[in-house]
Structure 1
Amino acid sequence: MQRIIVTTAGRPDEESYQLAKQVSEDLGVPFIPRKKRSISKISLLYEANVLVAGKNRLEYYGKGSHMPFFFHPDTAAFRLKRLKRGESEPFLEACALQSSDSFLDCTLGVGSDAIIASYAVGEKGKVIGLEVDPVIAYIVRRGLKEYETAEISLKRSMERIQVVPCEAVEFLKMQADESFEVVYLDPMFEQTIEESNNFESLREVGSHHPLTEEWVNEAYRVAKKRVVLKAHFRSTHFEDFGFERKVRLTSKFHFGVLEK
């Protein structure tokens, strides 16, 4: 596993210093004083990924990368606005989520789909997001709770999500049969789809786990209503694992459904 260190922003005050120390303790990784050095220099010197604890957000740089990963609701913000206007949401149509449902996102990533799911299931529902990389999980968990927005429904939807740092198959094996209405699979795309820089930075520092028969079988066992897969339109995952493909002619990704 790549070594990880924590440092402060370029011109830290006492608050930034204390935040960096807290992150260091939370994750059990070394704190390295910034000393006006660039992130690339620190990364090279310590041969490590660098987590920068700034006032407004945590930024995670892969070794040798100049583009950090950080939490942002990304597409969820404008998707939520469209939902409120009564427009369709292909993800929700594929999941068929209802108020008070439970939803398990096996590949949380930046959390955009989980936020929409949380909005759909409401306060009486439950959304759990799995993230195998502990640093990504930490950043997203804090971001979901601490991100500042005046959009109350977005804020509440983010706050309700429970982030679990665990590998998906390992977590699924610990769950009872039919313990979540919907289980969602969005493995790291074989081909790049998202245009956001944040998605690209996630590809650099995140963990990549290919979809397997064991993963799909465990997801099917744990799901009460359906398993939903999101993948590139050229992906053979739909046919390989028996998903009913929901073709979207104007999109680069499709959804697949395994009904119970």
Structure 2
Amino acid sequence: MRKVIVTTAGRPDEESFQLAKQISEELHVRYVPRKKRSVAKIGNLYQANVIVAGKNRFEYYAKGSSTPFFFHPDTAAFRLKRLERGETEPFIESCGLQPGDSFLDCTLGIGSDSIIASFTVGESGKVVGVEVDPIISFLVRRGLKEYKTADPVLKQAMERIQVIHAEAVEFLKKQPDSSFDVVYLDPMFEETIEESNNFESLREVGSHHPLTEEWVKEAYRVAKKRVVLKAHFRSTHFEDLGFERKVRLTSKFHYGVLEKN
């Protein structure tokens, strides 16, 4: 794992100190006093990525970057509103999710798609998100439980998600056959989507694992209904790995579906 340290906000209060010490102990990363230094200076001095424990949230900076990764619902908030109005959602249509279904997100990231899945499957369903990077896993797990929102529907959808820190293929190998209705794969895009600033901050600090035949094979075994892939529209993964591509003419990413026989 890359070197990571944790520090406080620029003007830390007692809460910031306590949060920094807590994450230091839980993730076994070094705590470094802020001493009025910039995050960039601390990152360069210790040659490390930097977690900043602020009063309201954690921010995670890649070494040399001025744009942090932090948890927030991202696109899930307005996508959920559209669903509540009865509008369609390409992700849900591709997954074919129904209330009570079980959904396994093998590449959780910030969790936006899993939030939408959680809303759709409801209290009787189950959503599990697997994240290989231990820092991202920690920040998203905390964020899903603690993010402040006045929207009770969004809050409940976030709180129902179970976050597991694991490598996706190894996790899949431990699951029984047909144990999740839908298995979802959303590896880091091979190409940048320029307008997605949040994705870029995640790209800088996250772990990059290319999609493999073994990964798809294990996902297919674990899925009861289908495996769904999200990838850049130029990706050859759809055709190379046997997915039926769902073309979206106005979008830079497409979904692919691998139905169970």
Q: TM-score range by the shorter chain?
A: over 0.9
- Summarize the alignment of residues 9-48 of structure 1 with structure 2, pairs less than 5 Å apart: 9-48=9-48
Q: Which residue does 1:208 correspond to in 2?
A: 208
Structure 2 counterpart of 1:92, one-letter code: I
Q: Does 1:256 align with 2:256?
A: yes
- What CA deviation, in whole Å up to 9, does each residue of 1:35-62 have, x standing for no partner? 1111011111111110000011100001
Structure 2 counterpart of 1:58, one-letter code: F
In 2, distance between residues paired with 1:2 and 1:259?
A: 37
Structure 1 counterpart of 2:251, one-letter code: S
Q: Which residue does 1:234 correspond to in 2?
A: 234
Structure 1 counterpart of 2:135, one-letter code: V
The number of aligned residues is: 260
Q: Does 1:114 align with 2:114?
A: yes
In 2, distance between residues paired with 1:202 and 1:13?
A: 27
Could you tell me how far 1:193 is from its partner in structure 2? 2.3
- What CA deviation, in whole Å up to 9, does each residue of 1:130-185 have, x standing for no partner? 11000000000000000000111100000000111111001000000000000000
Q: Gaps (5+ residues) in structure 1?
A: none
Percent identity reads 79
- Summarize the alignment of residues 170-209 of structure 1 with structure 2, pairs less than 5 Å apart: 170-193=170-193, 195-209=195-209
User: Comparing 190-199 with 231-240, which one deviates more in the overlay?
Assistant: 190-199
- What CA deviation, in whole Å up to 9, does each residue of 1:105-132 have, x standing for no partner? 0000110000000000001111010110
Could you tell me how far 1:196 is from its partner in structure 2? 3.0
Name segments (4+ residues, structure 1) moved above 3 Å.
Answer: none
Structure 2 counterpart of 1:79, one-letter code: R
Q: Which residue does 1:247 correspond to in 2?
A: 247
- Summarize the alignment of residues 28-107 of structure 1 with structure 2, pairs less than 5 Å apart: 28-107=28-107
Could you tell me how far 1:249 is from its partner in structure 2? 1.2
Could you tell me how far 1:194 is from its partner in structure 2? 6.1
CA RMSD of superposed structures (Å): 0.8
Q: Which residue does 1:147 correspond to in 2?
A: 147
Q: Gaps (5+ residues) in structure 2?
A: none
Structure 1 counterpart of 2:127, one-letter code: V
In 1, distance between residues paired with 2:20 and 2:3?
A: 17
1:139 aligned counterpart, secondary structure: helix
In 2, distance between residues paired with 1:128 and 1:140?
A: 13
Superposition TM-score, scaled by structure 2 size: 0.98
1:200 aligned counterpart, secondary structure: helix
Structure 1 counterpart of 2:64, one-letter code: G
In 1, distance between residues paired with 2:197 and 2:124?
A: 34
In 2, distance between residues paired with 1:194 and 1:117?
A: 25
Superposition TM-score, scaled by structure 1 size: 0.99
Structure 2 counterpart of 1:257, one-letter code: V
Structure 2 counterpart of 1:106, one-letter code: C
Q: Which residue does 2:223 correspond to in 1?
A: 223
Could you tell me how far 1:248 is from its partner in structure 2? 1.0
Q: Which residue does 2:5 correspond to in 1?
A: 5
1:127 aligned counterpart, secondary structure: strand
